[in-house]
Structure 1
């Protein structure tokens, strides 16, 4: 009888999603014939793609120093984990929001299994690269260890973080090497209908567009929007900078629904200025629009006569005139022929609803059946209430979200932070894409947690929806001589956490004002890393697969990441024969990480599975947790009899 499968610090299960291998598997599904002995035959692949391959030296290409390394970094799995911090969190057992402290590159890797194609919206406000912005230096060899050293969590105490100076010969390259792998990983998390919003300044606007065009595809570029940051000012050499930009990209534009924004009160008063005087809609406001428009596309059955109140028949201007109703159905308008906006059937439906308006005028473009100018023009009624529900097409110029609005917000919360975006900007972006219940909004340059604040405002305004925020922020240390530090904030993450808690007290009707806090760290699982010099010490530790000072819940959430569970999945705790047993997903996953596991404990888990009546169940133990080898051997048979075939040990 084979033993249960063991997860070690070197096994695939102990790492984040291997994106390279995933891409290879997808390629194998599309082109199985280009694989030979499980390797890609590039000549065969080129032949399969035919003329679509461009390998000429003069083709358009966007490159920089370090691009290949940036690609490799994105594809290298992480060996880290996210450790829960329940004591700092708010409403741990019920919240579906996340705040993660750590390097966003490593965290994005760790989220690949659990949140692949699950994020609806990403909003990021990365460094603008003005010469004063911090740009994290990634390490291809071991980025996690580099992060822990840089943040002073390993021996080489540091935070040797410096601005990306524009005097550097690789000023733009450093920024590109930072942003490229993060965008590659972020795209994987978006739903097919997902959308990315990226705030950026002039310094890296051009490079940002090129990077996103390459990663998302030019066809998925939705817009480059301009935001008014402020008015006036005398900074700058030739112009005073008053704008920045919001880049908008779809994961797959074919799945992206049309954006719709609110109709301003000014527009309502100016345009929807007519009031219905009779019928069921008496008192409602509307605007009128000509049923004939000169620029309409010409289609059959949209050139027909309409009878006016005095019996006169009218038709749009043109050269073709139908004689009968059947003529109108068959006739194909020619150049110079005008058509109605609607087919005849649609017109009859709308007039029966009272949505047609006849007006006498001396300037009517319509013709009578005798080809003379009509005294009537025909309009459709566009109701304000219906337009308020569907919204209006948003403009690509944002002029209502200036920096001063953010400063006012932060001052009210007593949060010391510069250059944060106004919450109303992100709130507006969430509104125009029409988020649905439980959609995830991700921000992996969270800063002062503006996005989290915006999501809470959104949820308070839309009581039928509960949107989730996921924030990721590097614990960048604050200057000890600054006024911010003197207020008690040591890291940027402290500011973000404080803001979420304070904002929750200012906003009414929040459905979820909590958030779970996790921190990036090295894996909880002890790796097998032996050589001749350290073999003896490694062997002494081999009986303990879990590192010292790691709790059962630390290990539990690493299992979540490796198995692809949502980090906010509800966890029930059962006590079976004195041992703590975690039950996840109504029994889809059962985890026991205690020591001294007996056959009675295993039998209790088997009984629990039967009671929960789950279709499939995975069970995980600690490898050294069994009372003896006989219990470990018998555990497989006991669980198999209960219909559990997937059993692993750590």
Structure 2
């Protein structure tokens, strides 16, 4: 019986497999210096030659963004991590029914853990990362450890791997550290986007150019949609030292397309009862001079009245032949005076789309103070500094998503994205789902800007960290949305499952059995850590198998043992000991798609050996694994 790997996917090996499909001659085998095991490896010299139409003799200069630590950042994105997502039902809201997820922990770990769960399924990503102003913090990722060292250290809580560190402008790696923090996260995020998915990134002048360059590299420059400008400040900054009041922020957008603004179809009418339906008067004046487009410059005459309307300075929009056809089809509106301009009937029924362009000037009349007002309405205190307004995020959500789409925000912060998803669902009847990630960044009582938030957390009996505030905001926001006007088609889902990034549920022996001494064998008979619950094991199995983390879970007693059934027959899991052949046969009779047992959970070796045979006979389509 095969064992589940119980760590995030090794993306480097998956990428090599993709190269092998395209260029099999460029992939070979090499011995891993750390483990001594054979692994697939790329012959980069051969690959360079495959991608060139001339002989490649050495590295070539090319246009790209480089910085100290880039290769390490890329390796970090590809490195598997042996961690888990542990469910916390007591901190969740409507755990059994909700389709929303709140992940507490380092977003790099979270993104690696959900690679298979949300692969190609996220319609929209929005992030509001640290702006790298010199006063904020960046994630202190470990870029110096080797892959094997990282995998070992990822089995235990490592504050250096999860903490935030100051990044002052005096730091010689000021931009490099920020780019190294962003690059692996965006690389992993790209894998989660659907083919028609869109990513939005809020950023300021300090890193907008670098952000665009790494997005060009990761998502493709051809996927650039727009660099939206949001006038975030309503009043002039009187504290400016340069004389310029910086009143804006940017929202970079990459993907295939956004929806666009709704056309104002109420302006279409049919005053003359035209059988072709409602229409609007459209301009026919051109935009080219006579020397550039002489075929568009001619006198336009109404043959019915003989009135000559002449030719505009910039000519007409259509040439003579097209204009003659429009006249024949009775689409021209002729003024009664020669000084008037003929116009064209544009019919509503002939519109190619009900949408038109969405302005790159984003959120007119929506300011940062509106985000503060949103928070005050929920908390009656300023527990977050400069939160994004819900109204702004609703516009973004509306542009990129609909119906049952999934939205991801892995810098959740104040929780505005999740709040906006709930609010937009209530407005239009969609059933969008959110996945948000937030690090439990500690609040400091002595920090004047954090004191209000610190005191608030203690006042409600919660640990003083950002993640606790985010969860509390979502609880209050959900309640407020339900108390307002709700679309009848909305499923009214304002809950969320809380999952926390933690060390693996498995003992070290599970990952490195070759390093266990004989004297330690008795202590490692059970490869599962003693403090982990069956629910902890279930969710690590869901992550490992790439199963939806919000599917309904039913707990049953079968043959005296606790068995979890996920979404009916999607997965059956029994982590108890003393599993008998009768239990195995009963589970096989239910024909689940997947089934998992504890490796040492069988009543005898004979039962363990026969498990796969039983399922082959009764339920051959079931995938059988153990942990």
- Considering the TM-score relative to the shorter chain, is it more than 0.5? yes
TM-aligned CA deviation for residue 134 of structure 1:
1.1
Matching of residue 646 in structure 1 with residue 623 in structure 2: yes
Taking the TM superposition and a 5 Å limit, the aligned residue runs for 1:440-451 are 440-451=406-417
**Which one of 465, 469, 481 corresponds to residue 491 of structure 1?**
465
Question: Which residue in 1 is equivalent to 2:498?
Answer: 517
Confirm or deny: 8 A CA contact 2:229 2:360 kept in the other structure: no
Question: Which residue in 2 is equivalent to 1:559?
Answer: 541
- TM-aligned CA distance change 1:314 to 1:646, over 3 Å: farther
Q: 2:499 and 2:298 mapped to 1: Cα distance? A: 66
- In structure 2, the gaps of 5 or more residues are 30-39, 459-463
Question: Which residue in 1 is equivalent to 2:261?
Answer: 261
Matching of residue 476 in structure 1 with residue 441 in structure 2: yes
TM-aligned CA deviation for residue 40 of structure 1:
2.8
**Which one of 285, 288, 292 corresponds to residue 281 of structure 2?**
288
- TM-aligned CA distance change 1:274 to 1:633, over 3 Å: closer
Question: Which residue in 1 is equivalent to 2:170?
Answer: 167
For residue 338 of structure 2, give the secondary structure of its aligned residue in structure 1.
coil
**Which one of 3, 6, 11 corresponds to residue 6 of structure 1?**
3
Q: 1:315 and 1:46 mapped to 2: Cα distance? A: 64
TM-aligned CA deviation for residue 260 of structure 1:
0.8
Question: Which residue in 2 is equivalent to 1:527?
Answer: 508
Q: 2:570 and 2:168 mapped to 1: Cα distance? A: 51
Q: 2:559 and 2:610 mapped to 1: Cα distance? A: 17
**Which one of 97, 101, 105 corresponds to residue 102 of structure 1?**
105
Question: Which residue in 2 is equivalent to 1:47?
Answer: 49
Question: Which residue in 1 is equivalent to 2:35?
Answer: none
Once the two structures are overlaid, the 10-residue window that deviates more, 465-474 or 583-592, is: 583-592
Question: Which residue in 2 is equivalent to 1:619?
Answer: 595
Q: 1:533 and 1:564 mapped to 2: Cα distance? A: 29
Q: 1:441 and 1:63 mapped to 2: Cα distance? A: 30
- TM-aligned CA distance change 1:448 to 1:47, over 3 Å: same
- TM-aligned CA distance change 1:467 to 1:167, over 3 Å: same
Question: Which residue in 2 is equivalent to 1:359?
Answer: 335
Q: 2:569 and 2:213 mapped to 1: Cα distance? A: 47
Once the two structures are overlaid, the 10-residue window that deviates more, 140-149 or 177-186, is: 140-149
Matching of residue 184 in structure 1 with residue 160 in structure 2: no
For residue 14 of structure 1, give the secondary structure of its aligned residue in structure 2.
coil
Q: 1:32 and 1:106 mapped to 2: Cα distance? A: 32
The C-alpha deviation readout for 1:416-457, integer Å capped at 9, x for no partner, is: 100111111111112223x13221111100001110001011
**Which one of 405, 413, 416 corresponds to residue 378 of structure 2?**
413
Q: 1:485 and 1:56 mapped to 2: Cα distance? A: 53
- TM-aligned CA distance change 1:243 to 1:608, over 3 Å: same
The C-alpha deviation readout for 1:92-122, integer Å capped at 9, x for no partner, is: 1111111100000010000111111111111
Q: 1:546 and 1:314 mapped to 2: Cα distance? A: 90
- TM-aligned CA distance change 1:316 to 1:109, over 3 Å: farther
Confirm or deny: 8 A CA contact 2:581 2:607 kept in the other structure: yes
- TM-aligned CA distance change 1:633 to 1:193, over 3 Å: same
TM-aligned CA deviation for residue 282 of structure 1:
13
Confirm or deny: 8 A CA contact 2:441 2:467 kept in the other structure: yes
Q: 2:578 and 2:298 mapped to 1: Cα distance? A: 86
Once the two structures are overlaid, the 10-residue window that deviates more, 522-531 or 622-631, is: 522-531
For residue 384 of structure 2, give the secondary structure of its aligned residue in structure 1.
coil
Q: 2:572 and 2:321 mapped to 1: Cα distance? A: 61
Q: 1:293 and 1:283 mapped to 2: Cα distance? A: 26
The C-alpha deviation readout for 1:14-50, integer Å capped at 9, x for no partner, is: 2211111111111111112333455433333223222
Q: 2:321 and 2:190 mapped to 1: Cα distance? A: 40
- TM-aligned CA distance change 1:531 to 1:83, over 3 Å: closer
Matching of residue 88 in structure 1 with residue 53 in structure 2: no
For residue 62 of structure 2, give the secondary structure of its aligned residue in structure 1.
coil
Confirm or deny: 8 A CA contact 1:159 1:477 kept in the other structure: no
TM-aligned CA deviation for residue 128 of structure 1:
0.6
Question: Which residue in 1 is equivalent to 2:10?
Answer: 18
**Which one of 394, 404, 410 corresponds to residue 427 of structure 1?**
394
- In structure 1, the gaps of 5 or more residues are 8-12, 251-255, 319-334, 366-376
- TM-aligned CA distance change 1:345 to 1:474, over 3 Å: farther
**Which one of 438, 453, 457 corresponds to residue 419 of structure 2?**
453
Question: Which residue in 2 is equivalent to 1:277?
Answer: 271
TM-aligned CA deviation for residue 171 of structure 1:
1.3
Question: Which residue in 1 is equivalent to 2:27?
Answer: 35
Confirm or deny: 8 A CA contact 1:260 1:432 kept in the other structure: yes
Question: Which residue in 2 is equivalent to 1:322?
Answer: none
Confirm or deny: 8 A CA contact 1:504 1:513 kept in the other structure: yes
Confirm or deny: 8 A CA contact 2:285 2:316 kept in the other structure: no
TM-aligned CA deviation for residue 524 of structure 1:
0.9
TM-aligned CA deviation for residue 359 of structure 1:
3.1
Confirm or deny: 8 A CA contact 2:81 2:113 kept in the other structure: yes
- TM-aligned CA distance change 1:483 to 1:314, over 3 Å: same
TM-aligned CA deviation for residue 145 of structure 1:
8.4
What root-mean-square deviation, in Å, do the aligned CA atoms of Structure 1 and Structure 2 show?
Answer: 3.9
Q: 1:401 and 1:144 mapped to 2: Cα distance? A: 45
- TM-aligned CA distance change 1:346 to 1:553, over 3 Å: farther
- TM-aligned CA distance change 1:60 to 1:386, over 3 Å: closer
Q: 1:493 and 1:361 mapped to 2: Cα distance? A: 69
Q: 1:439 and 1:98 mapped to 2: Cα distance? A: 14
TM-aligned CA deviation for residue 391 of structure 1:
4.8
Would you say how many aligned residue pairs link Structure 1 and Structure 2?
584
- TM-aligned CA distance change 1:476 to 1:308, over 3 Å: same
Once the two structures are overlaid, the 10-residue window that deviates more, 537-546 or 183-192, is: 537-546
For residue 23 of structure 1, give the secondary structure of its aligned residue in structure 2.
helix
Q: 2:116 and 2:336 mapped to 1: Cα distance? A: 66
Taking the TM superposition and a 5 Å limit, the aligned residue runs for 1:137-156 are 137-140=140-143, 141=145
Query: Normalising by the residue count of structure 1, what TM-score does the alignment of the two structures yield?
Result: 0.80
Query: Normalising by the residue count of structure 2, what TM-score does the alignment of the two structures yield?
Result: 0.83
Once the two structures are overlaid, the 10-residue window that deviates more, 385-394 or 546-555, is: 385-394
Q: 2:123 and 2:225 mapped to 1: Cα distance? A: 15
The C-alpha deviation readout for 1:117-148, integer Å capped at 9, x for no partner, is: 11111110000111111111111436688799
Q: 1:18 and 1:475 mapped to 2: Cα distance? A: 26
**Which one of 194, 198, 208 corresponds to residue 197 of structure 2?**
194
